[in-house]
A and B are shown apart, each in its own frame.
Chain A
Amino acid sequence: MKILVCISKAPDTTAKIAFKDNNTAFDENNVQYIVNPYDEWYALVRALELKETLGGTVTTVSVGGTDMEAIIRKAFAIGADDGVRIDAEPTDAYFVAEQIASYAKQGGFDIILAGKETINYNGSSLGGMLAELLDMPYVSMATKLDVAGTTATIECDIDGGTEVLECDFPLVISAAKGMAEARIPNMRGIMAARTKALNVIAPVAADKLTEVKSYTLAQGRTTCKMIDAENAGSLIEMLHNEAKVI
């Protein structure tokens, strides 16, 4: 079984968000990057679990500059066999999907996994676009993935519940919470990561369908009205009369 896992980087969850160049670009100063949690905790770890029980290989693919390599090595330390970096600045999800699709077309992958979204752009776009460009079935927001022979069984969230789906290889899946538990790389993994193959390939041409023109920080709340615990019940009147939410 050949599994491809799409890996992206994201600012550490506690990073201070700021913008530069007249609010047209994210200010990376003092920002620590991590493997996007959905890609790492759920997609990559589940891929590794499947490989460990059923055999096969786990390859990662990322679109980015040289700064992406530390992120890819982290995925190696956790257990990925090898990785590909497509050497281009990711401009939007469609651009990234075109790059990965072009690579994956030659790869003969059985399962392509992505995280359900990145925690910086929160688009939930890549998996669906990739599946369309590859003409493959797509299951989004999967919370469980099992494989028997060449068939995947997937559980995913639907409105007000869950459903269990079955699909033959090849297919694209986006991974949400529930698929696996986070893994902490051990010393052996970290040592091995240095010698695993990280192949750099050139990007293909792709249309720039969207671009971010500017950013603004979200407005925080200014005042918190304190209510005495003894008098907690008065909150309900305030929610009705003042906030008008009940």
Chain B
Amino acid sequence: MSILVYTESSKGKIKKASLEAVNYAAEIAAKTGTTATAIIINAGDASLEDLGKAGANKVLHVNNASINASDSQVLTRILNHVAESEASSIVIFSNDLTAKAVAPRLAARMKAGFVPGAVDYPQTDGAFTVNKNVFSGKAIATYQVNSAKKVISLLPNSFQVKTDAAAVAATNFDVPADLLASRIKVKEVKRETNELSLPEAELVVSAGRGMKGPENWGMIEDLAKQLGAATACSRPVSDIGWRPHHEHVGQTGIAIRPNLYIAVGISGAIQHLAGVNGSKTIVVINKDPEAPFFKAADYGIIGDAFDVVPKLIEAVKKFKASQN
């Protein structure tokens, strides 16, 4: 028996969320007296040593250019094959876009109980239970997994990443060609090159209708750039086309939980909060002292964004200079 953890690389590095998932798998392996095996597909020149340092006892590299990684069916067949050959009854993912496509498929294939978006370690004495957010972050449910096989995807940014274990050498793992037949053709890939990916960002600067118009987003982008943060927005702002759809956070956009969420000119409607209330620290800047967002914030500034944001930009510049 072993615990299998699916990992990915991006831009020549193992993704941070993948390292977190390896930490998580290693901890569960230690608790249940087994080992953690990390699997990565076409890692390119990413350093596979980092997977061992994050706690994997074994690292398998599937290096095969004919794998269509955009096809959840292909990835499911590969992972099912690896889980069988490694006798893994638990498979761990980080709950990112790949996991959303592949993890439920794999769970159905393995007849494994599936918990998507787990927020802490499972209880493994007696019944196997694990917590996950429900009702768009308004509550937490304890799920019991009844089946012997289990698939769990970990909500990213739930734990600090540790890489203090010993590196292990990666083994090449060959998959049978008949698993790779794909019915999906990739026509085009569009990457927004310089932007930080919002779900993975640790710092986020977000703005709402209080900004009055798209022409005023310069200062929001500037503050984000100075902080090294990603940008986000409220729903009406993306609906009227001031900002792109992928920046829309909330119950009907994406849910994020960065370390820092700065909300500028956003009232704090319940549907907006549902997507951001998992953030570690929330700062609210609003000219209306009655704005509901202040009730969900750690720090608040009552004031005009057009006056406060430039002050923050200056303060960040000064802070950065003092750190050098």
Binding site for B on A (CB under 8 A): 11, 13-14, 17, 19, 37-38, 41, 93-94, 97, 116, 119-129, 131-133, 137-141, 143, 153, 157-168, 171, 177-178, 207-218, 220-221, 223-229, 232-240, 243, 245-246
**Would you call B260 and A243 a contact (CB within 8 A)?**
yes
**Would you call B143 and A213 a contact (CB within 8 A)?**
yes
Q: Mark B279-315, 1 if CB is under 8 A from A, else 0.
A: 0111110000000001111111111100110011011
Binding site for A on B (CB under 8 A): 10, 70-73, 76, 96-98, 100-109, 111-117, 127, 129, 133-147, 183-192, 195, 197, 200, 202-203, 227, 245-246, 248, 251-253, 255, 259-260, 270-271, 274, 277, 280-284, 294-304, 307-308, 311-312, 314-316, 318-319
**Would you call A224 and B147 a contact (CB within 8 A)?**
no
Kindly state the separation between the CA atoms of A227 and B112 in the bound complex, as whole angstroms.
50
Within 8 Å by CB of A245, from B259, B284, B308, B319, lies B259
Shortest CB distance B28–A (Å): 17
Kindly state the separation between the CA atoms of A246 and B261 in the bound complex, as whole angstroms.
11
**Would you call B113 and A245 a contact (CB within 8 A)?**
no
7 more CB-based (< 8 A) A-B contacts, given A14-B271, A131-B73, A212-B141:
A122-B255, A123-B116, A132-B105, A139-B72, A217-B140, A236-B316, A245-B260
**Would you call A162 and B190 a contact (CB within 8 A)?**
yes
Shortest CB distance B76–A (Å): 7
Contacts of A14 in B (CB 8 A): 270-271
Within 8 Å by CB of B187, from A17, A125, A164, lies A164
List 20 A-B pairs, Cβ < 8 Å.
A13-B270, A19-B139, A116-B100, A137-B73, A138-B105, A139-B101, A141-B101, A161-B190, A165-B185, A165-B187, A177-B252, A207-B147, A209-B111, A212-B144, A221-B298, A226-B299, A226-B301, A226-B302, A235-B301, A245-B280
Contacts of B260 in A (CB 8 A): 239, 243, 245-246
Contacts of B301 in A (CB 8 A): 226-229, 232, 235
Shortest CB distance A97–B (Å): 6
**Would you call B104 and A93 a contact (CB within 8 A)?**
yes
**Would you call A229 and B70 a contact (CB within 8 A)?**
no
Kindly state the separation between the CA atoms of A139 and B245 in the bound complex, as whole angstroms.
19
* Smallest Cβ-Cβ distance to A133: which chain B residue: B108
Shortest CB distance B315–A (Å): 3
**Would you call B134 and A122 a contact (CB within 8 A)?**
yes
Shortest CB distance A200–B (Å): 25
Kindly state the separation between the CA atoms of A160 and B201 in the bound complex, as whole angstroms.
11
Kindly state the separation between the CA atoms of A123 and B147 in the bound complex, as whole angstroms.
18
State the 4 A-B residue pairs at the shortest beta-carbon distance, nearest first: A229-B303, A233-B315, A128-B104, A209-B113
**Would you call A129 and B107 a contact (CB within 8 A)?**
yes
Kindly state the separation between the CA atoms of A37 and B252 in the bound complex, as whole angstroms.
7
Kindly state the separation between the CA atoms of A158 and B97 in the bound complex, as whole angstroms.
6
Shortest CB distance B202–A (Å): 8
Kindly state the separation between the CA atoms of A236 and B311 in the bound complex, as whole angstroms.
10
**Would you call B299 and A227 a contact (CB within 8 A)?**
yes
Shortest CB distance B10–A (Å): 6
Known: A167-B183, A215-B134, A221-B297. A125 touches B104 (CB 8 A): yes
**Would you call B111 and A245 a contact (CB within 8 A)?**
no
Contacts of B137 in A (CB 8 A): 218
Contacts of B115 in A (CB 8 A): 210
Shortest CB distance B99–A (Å): 9
**Would you call A225 and B190 a contact (CB within 8 A)?**
no
Contacts of A217 in B (CB 8 A): 138-140
Shortest CB distance A111–B (Å): 14
**Would you call A215 and B114 a contact (CB within 8 A)?**
no
Within 8 Å by CB of A212, from B142, B245, B271, B296, lies B142
Within 8 Å by CB of A13, from B76, B140, B245, B271, lies B271
Within 8 Å by CB of B108, from A37, A97, A211, lies A97
Known: A11-B135, A236-B316. A225 touches B108 (CB 8 A): no
Kindly state the separation between the CA atoms of A245 and B282 in the bound complex, as whole angstroms.
10
* Smallest Cβ-Cβ distance to A162: which chain B residue: B190
Shortest CB distance A244–B (Å): 9
Known: A122-B133, A224-B295, A245-B203. A128 touches B139 (CB 8 A): no
Within 8 Å by CB of B101, from A13, A93, A128, A167, lies A128
Contacts of A213 in B (CB 8 A): 127, 129, 142-144
Shortest CB distance B60–A (Å): 21
* Smallest Cβ-Cβ distance to B183: which chain A residue: A137
Kindly state the separation between the CA atoms of A224 and B302 in the bound complex, as whole angstroms.
12
* Smallest Cβ-Cβ distance to B235: which chain A residue: A177
Known: A120-B134, A160-B195. A233 touches B312 (CB 8 A): yes
Shortest CB distance A80–B (Å): 21
Kindly state the separation between the CA atoms of A93 and B108 in the bound complex, as whole angstroms.
10
**Would you call A127 and B104 a contact (CB within 8 A)?**
yes
Kindly state the separation between the CA atoms of A141 and B259 in the bound complex, as whole angstroms.
25
Contacts of B308 in A (CB 8 A): 229, 232
**Would you call A165 and B186 a contact (CB within 8 A)?**
yes
Kindly state the separation between the CA atoms of A233 and B318 in the bound complex, as whole angstroms.
9
**Would you call A128 and B102 a contact (CB within 8 A)?**
yes
Shortest CB distance B86–A (Å): 20
* Smallest Cβ-Cβ distance to A151: which chain B residue: B185
Shortest CB distance A28–B (Å): 13
